[in-house]
Chains A and B, each alone.
Chain A
Amino acid sequence: MPVTPLDRARRWLFGPVDARVVGWMRASLGALLVTSHLAYAPELDALFAPDALLTQGLFRSDTRWLAWYRLVPDAASLDLLHGALVVPALLVLVGLGGRASLLLALLAQLALMHSNGLAQNGGDRLLRMWTLCMLGSNGTAAVALDAWWARRRGRVPPAVVSGLAVRLVQLQLAWMYCSTGLAKLGGSTWRSGDALYYALLAEHFQRVGGLFTPERLGAGVALWITRLGTWLVLAWEAGFPLWVAWRRTRWVALALGVVFHLGIFATMMVGTFSVVSMWGYLAFVLPALPALGRTGPAVIPVRATPTRRPPPGSAG
């Protein structure tokens, strides 16, 4: 029977991956969720407290029922709520509760967003996307307390799981870079090569105030470096799906991405965006690792899908 393009697409989307790939992705996402959630703590009162100066008159949200941080009466309750809402992220980190903990972690992120969306950045949005993507696979079949608990109860967790989450993360990353790259093609500063010059001089993003000035960047070698960097970023972003689809350019494209994100992290204050973006690279890197990359009996010892271990003495 001929294999149709739809079959290929289905196989690509839902095909199996080593459960440890999804397990490590889930655990590291949990670490990001915990860190990102706790990083709110010093500014909770300023961003959400009912009597905070800058929050007066805001929040005409039609999803008020999800704006949990706006429903608490005082600062002490705010701390309590924030403390309680880190629990789902911790569950994701240790792999307890399967997809339910991911759903709860998503709800906690939505509560922050609907309570004060103006304080959110691209990193927060991408973190929500990653949480949504991870719902596509069973992430607690390995590297998880769920798996450990299953073994203790005589069940054998699956060694391979549907790779939908991995594919969704790959698609999301490719879409994000490519759509942004194409939008930049319409921007005059990207075509002229001056975009990086302007980006580095946007002071509210600068990690070190005054490190870059128009006098230092606007002439000579520095200007040409920023121009070459601009065009390189543009070509890399707009063509990202092609670069990662082609095996020969995949690793160069991912390595360039790491360099770009580390460069942004070192010079600009863009919240968690750099780190959260690089998390998505795990969807390319982990399946390619020799220890995790291949599925099937040739690499992984044969294990059953969840089933009861036979009672002692009944073997044979």
Chain B
Amino acid sequence: MQNLGINVIFQGRNLQRLFEGLLITMEISFISIVIATFLGVLIGLSRTTKYKPLLLINRLYLEFFRIIPTLVWLFIFYFGVTTALNVDLSGLSVAIIVFSLWGAAEMGDIVRGALQSLPKHQTESGMALGLSHWQLYLYVLIPQAVRRTLPGTINLATRMIKTTSLVVLIGVIDVVKIGQQIIESSRFEFPTASFWVYGFIFVLYFIVCYPLSVLSNKLEMKWNN
């Protein structure tokens, strides 16, 4: 029996399962973003140091994560680190580790950029008004630095969410994997399932990422004026 293709999404528990898969995707993204932000701020602050070896390590760390594609890192950890350290890591754990490390590297750069872009005269005006070192940071510099990191951070978050689609390739049961399972099991009833399911997942990602992109644009415009 040939059914109208799009209905495959609404069959049985399919919709529910897809959303559960989406939840996994969001979990990976969210946890990674939080860890990445935390580490990233530390890394970013450490970039202002004058200690050369630390700067070098930081630089290498960033460059390595930039030159080597994220999927390769997922492979390295999933196949390589597990064998080398004789640990058994699930695809999920590997995903979170890799995304956190990658995110932290990028965040570090964003934070550094924000700190460097603060106008020097802010510090001078603050000191001229008699603010103490800590007050200067708390009331003047940090709020401004946070502002400047926000668009980049949101942009990074969007990229990370999109990249989590790759975890299906190391066996994680995310929304893409569930989609594939649905397609496979609906082969006879819904031969056109792959079109509708992937189409649906496509739309899901858009619904998640687009608001973030709009938010980032709004913030940038608001604070550039």
Determine if chain A interacts with chain B: no
